[in-house]
Structure 1
Amino acid sequence: MSGINSKWIYLFVLSLIWGSSFILIKKSLLGLTPYQLGALRIIITGLFLFAMGFKTIRTIKSSDWKWLVISGVLGSFIPAFFFAIAETEIDSAVVSILNSLVPLNTILLGFAVFKIASTKRQVLGVVIGFIGTAILIFRGADLNPGQNYFYAVFVILSTLMYAANVNIIKKYLQHVKPLTIATGNFVGIFIPAIVVLLFTDFFSERTYSHPDFKMSMAYITILSFFGTALAKIVFNKLVHISTPVFASSVTYIMPIVALMWGFLDGESFGWIQGMSSIIILFGVYLSHKKKPKNVQKH
């Protein structure tokens, strides 16, 4: 298999995995509360990552642990709960589109907080992306009056935390291997997730007797293994055989996969929402489009 063909296969597989994670969250919520789902997602993913990367923990320097814990909280712990809370009120397809704001917010936070320079094209992409987001939210509220689109705030806050996490890794953990970062992240958030689970009624008879409990546990296990642990390995491989710019293009395809799942699950999606989704993705495209190199005159 040539490198050109294989990178497209990895991109497709990763898009399918991450794009399917939103419908898996929705299905997991049938028999679990958002807090149970978030805690279980962290615990199960942590177990998978410990099995794969526990030996790498010894290579972590003491000075890196602070940033690994902060990275874990912002990049995994809080969003795991926020996405679950959001999907109790908003369709999974809409959540997936809002999630595509991560690259835009990465640029915004990189400039505002981490003093990473941005181009005019990137700033324009951020503005266009937020216009599309506003249209998506307000139109969604009209199209689905039974849904509380205030819960979109949980997704937007999560994208800001994801963006902060990317900048933290870039600035403070660039020298640490990806699997080591992921494993270190979950070392820091594994015990807190167990504590959260203990304060829910997960271990009660009422939870176990719920008719959707077993299927929800199956969905959350699939989500944890494929949507988090395996996806990290696939993404790292994709970066290795291609470029970070090519790998980041997974952001464009994920919402398409999520929209297909949402449509098959009977979610409502109007043409204005479709147009606003295109606006968001166009903003993401502008923010990642390489500036053409200047041709030197001789």
Structure 2
Amino acid sequence: MSSTSSENTLQNWGLLIALALVWGSSFILIKRGLMVFSPGELGAFRIVAAGTFLLPLSLPRIRKLNSKQIQNLIIVGLVGSFIPAFLFAKAQTQLSSSLTGVLNALTPLFVVLIGSIFFQSKITIRNAVGLAIAFIGVTILVSVKEGSSFGDFSDINAYAFFVILACVCYGFNLNLIKHNFVELKPVEITAISLLMVLPIALVFLMAGTEFSYKMVSADGALLALTYVAILGILGTAIALIFFNKLVKTATPVFASSVTYLIPIVAILWGVWDGETLLLGHYIGIAAVILGVWIGNRKKLKS
């Protein structure tokens, strides 16, 4: 293994772990924000916070782009940030933060499926085996409920499909970034794509919700706003820069593997918040980690 290859491998795994910690914590922040704000208010302010934070980076760079790049970045802003922000907030009105984090691990499956259908991407047997094992782990985690390590799926309701739809959006986003933005830096992709959807989020937040009223009248509004601001700045703006860098330096499948680690962090936060961790959770987590290791073992040796 060359020195450059070794450095890239360490960098990629460092980014993967950091993103898992940040995004795994996002679900508890959403849960706290929903104590005051509606899903629409939370999703919109998350985008406003992230886009505003990155204005010093996005405004000077947008003038250098051509119309085709701007059009693609609008799509990235919508499917990679804007739409999922609303979907996850809506889902967590009826799903626990830990279960939402687990369902988020379906993203790599949609990355592979969408990549093969629309982007002529290929998947190796090792990738497929790793994905299958990790998916089994996710299935176990989803099926576990109080009173049984391997329960039925009665706890999953229609709100789970909001998370699945967000995963579909992420699948398109990862493939778009990998195939359409070879010439752009990760910070440019993140900052400008958020700038493209910032006006939409701001107009909706101010004109289409009770956000302003709640800020001056609702108990705990400032604390809830702080949680969502952290979610937007750290969990969306900064994390997306790191993630887009990972997508450009690694494979889409490797980058999306962060969603296999996110459930571990999300479940630990859930336990801290009073949720129960059963034997099935440990088995599911072990399967998820094993799947990630098998699916990316060749990457480690390159």
| TM-score class, shorter | 0.7 to 0.9
Partner of 1:62: 67
Between 261-270 and 218-227, report the one with greater CA deviation. 261-270
Partner of 2:276: 268
Shift of 1:155: 1.1
Partner secondary structure for residue 111 of structure 1: helix
Partner of 2:190: 182
Partner of 1:79: 84
Shift of 1:142: 8.3
Q: List gaps (5 residues or longer) in structure 1.
A: 294-298
Question: 2:84 is matched by which residue type in structure 1?
Answer: P
Shift of 1:232: 3.4
Partner of 1:108: 113
Structure 1 residues 15, 291: CA separation in 2 closer, same or farther (over 3 Å shift)? closer
1:223 to 222, 228, 231: 231
The root-mean-square deviation of aligned C-alpha atoms, in Å, is 3.3
Partner of 1:169: 177
Q: CA contact under 8 A between 2:134 and 2:260: conserved in structure 1?
A: no
Structure 1 residues 225, 267: CA separation in 2 closer, same or farther (over 3 Å shift)? same
The question of 1:203 aligning with 2:208 is answered: no
Partner of 2:250: 244
Question: Which whole-Å deviations, capped at 9, do the CAs of 1:5-62 have from their partners, x for residues lacking one?
Answer: x857665544332221111111111111110000000011000111233211122121
Partner of 1:258: 266
Shift of 1:128: 4.0
Q: CA contact under 8 A between 1:141 and 1:147: conserved in structure 2?
A: no
Q: CA contact under 8 A between 2:50 and 2:237: conserved in structure 1?
A: yes
Partner of 1:296: none
Question: 1:51 is matched by which residue type in structure 2?
Answer: P
Structure 1 residues 76, 9: CA separation in 2 closer, same or farther (over 3 Å shift)? closer
Q: CA contact under 8 A between 1:104 and 1:129: conserved in structure 2?
A: no
The question of 1:28 aligning with 2:33 is answered: yes
Question: 1:103 is matched by which residue type in structure 2?
Answer: P
Partner of 2:165: 157
Write the distance in 1 (CA, Å) between the matches of 2:29 and 2:98: 11
Question: Which whole-Å deviations, capped at 9, do the CAs of 1:60-94 have from their partners, x for residues lacking one?
Answer: 12111221111111100110001111111111122
Partner of 1:48: 53
Shift of 1:139: 3.5
Between 111-120 and 229-238, report the one with greater CA deviation. 229-238
Partner secondary structure for residue 117 of structure 1: coil
Write the distance in 1 (CA, Å) between the matches of 2:74 and 2:259: 25
TM-score w.r.t. the length of structure 2 is 0.81
Q: List gaps (5 residues or longer) in structure 2.
A: 1-6
Q: Percent identity?
A: 39
Structure 1 residues 235, 135: CA separation in 2 closer, same or farther (over 3 Å shift)? closer
Write the distance in 2 (CA, Å) between the matches of 1:142 and 1:199: 43
Q: CA contact under 8 A between 2:186 and 2:245: conserved in structure 1?
A: no
Write the distance in 1 (CA, Å) between the matches of 2:104 and 2:157: 15
How many residues were matched structurally? 289
Question: Which whole-Å deviations, capped at 9, do the CAs of 1:150-207 have from their partners, x for residues lacking one?
Answer: 2111111111110110101111122211111112211221121123212112122x56
Partner secondary structure for residue 63 of structure 2: helix
Structure 1 residues 284, 196: CA separation in 2 closer, same or farther (over 3 Å shift)? farther
Residues 1-40 of structure 1 correspond to what in structure 2 (within 5 A)?
7=11, 12-40=17-45
Q: CA contact under 8 A between 1:38 and 1:81: conserved in structure 2?
A: yes
Write the distance in 1 (CA, Å) between the matches of 2:45 and 2:74: 18
Q: CA contact under 8 A between 2:77 and 2:194: conserved in structure 1?
A: yes
Q: CA contact under 8 A between 2:33 and 2:227: conserved in structure 1?
A: yes
